[in-house]
């Protein structure tokens, strides 16, 4: 691409969609009629520096783009760390809880929550997943927040039922869906 001649019409120059690396750009201040030359790389650095140092009013408050990216990264890492906190509960059955005369799922899951509390499964903010065998195999998934709060779902294989069970302020609850 040839340089424009003195007095050449700028509209006559070839249009491009991308400036090749290493090219220089000419600029002119129309007020003072002074100008200069800057490389594309230096102009890019100057623009990026201006954008990244500028504070924007975001939902999370006034912050630069770098601060916003760091904030998102912290939140993402927190979510990933929580996913890594999955734990298992040993498989139990009615026999383990000496539940010979009462074979209801409700009693079994109350006993399972008591077992978890007595064996230190609560208050570690883990998500628990396990297979339990109250009356056929069940996939159990949930969380035991503290001594007073827990929430689980049990999906029974081959029966098409879901059980919700948990603990709230010392009261056990059970719902068969």
Phi, psi of 72 (to 5 degrees): -60, -40
Neighbours of 149 (CB within 10 A): 15
Crossing angle (nearest 10°) for helices 65-83 and 40-53 = 70
> Do residues 152 and 106 make contact, with C-beta atoms less than 8 angstroms apart?
no
Please, where are the H alpha helices in the chain?
40-53, 65-83, 105-118
pTM, whole model, 2 decimals?
0.48
> Do residues 137 and 130 make contact, with C-beta atoms less than 8 angstroms apart?
no
User: DSSP code of 128?
Assistant: E
Condensed to tens digits (0 to 9), the pLDDT of residues 41-95 reads: 888 888 878 877 887 777 777 888 777 777 766 655 444 444 456 677 788 877 8
- What mean pLDDT is reported for the chain? 76
């Amino acid at each position: 691409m040839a340089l424009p001649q003195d007095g050449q019409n700028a509209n006559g120059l070839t249009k491009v969609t991308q400036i090749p690396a290493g090219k220089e750009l000419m600029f002119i201040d129309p007020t003072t009629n002074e100008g200069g030359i800057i490389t594309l790389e230096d102009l890019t650095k100057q623009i990026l520096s201006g954008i990244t140092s500028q504070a924007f009013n975001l939902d999370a408050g006034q912050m630069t783009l770098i601060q916003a990216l760091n904030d998102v990264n912290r939140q993402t890492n927190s979510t990933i760390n929580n996913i890594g906190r999955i734990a298992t509960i040993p498989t139990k059955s009615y026999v383990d809880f000496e539940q010979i005369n009462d074979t209801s799922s409700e009693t079994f899951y109350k006993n399972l929550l008591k077992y978890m509390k007595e064996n230190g499964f609560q208050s570690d903010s883990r998500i628990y997943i396990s297979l339990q065998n109250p009356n056929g195999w069940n996939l159990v998934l949930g969380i035991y927040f503290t001594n007073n709060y827990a929430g689980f779902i049990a999906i029974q294989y081959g029966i098409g039922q879901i059980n919700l069970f948990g603990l709230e302020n010392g009261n056990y609850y059970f719902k068969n869906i």
